[in-house]
Amino acid sequence: MNLEKVVAVSGLPGLYKLVTPRNNGLIIEDFDTGKKRFISIRQHVFTPLASVSIFTQEDPEELNTLFANMQAKAGELDADGALDNNQDLAEYFGEILPTYDRDRVHIGDMKKVVKWYVFLRDHHLLQGGDEEE
């Protein structure tokens, strides 16, 4: 899966497809509606998911690897149920990435990663390897 074109935008819910960068912002596309809009770099912070990694006891782990682990364990672990409470979330995260750094990876980080995974899964963006619309 290619996470280069998937961005999180501060102040906006969900994830967006990067259409094109501009010198003063980005043009993004909503995965739900398909509407494109310009977002100013002065008002928002953009985070391409490809640049996000999770601290582990060794080297940081990229989201691609983490999402692949989540997909592989989808039959035995429930990502949606993990968001119910913090203890379930920490246990779920420990199952998909046993070596995560428990001092530097906080519950909020775990929630964000699981929500991103659920969003990508529900929008069928995890299947098919590197191809992207």
Q: Tens of pLDDT along 80-105?
A: 888 889 999 999 999 999 999 999 99
Question: What is the greatest pairwise CA distance in the chain?
Answer: 45
CA distance 117 to 111: 10
Please give the pLDDT value at position 75.
Answer: 82
Lowest mean pLDDT among 4-13, 73-82, 122-131: 122-131
Please give the pLDDT value at position 82.
Answer: 81
What is this structure's pTM?
Answer: 0.87
Please give the pLDDT value at position 74.
Answer: 86
- Using an 8 Å Cβ cutoff, are 67 and 36 in contact? no
Average pLDDT, the chain: 91
pLDDT tier at 133 (50, 70, 90 boundaries)? very low
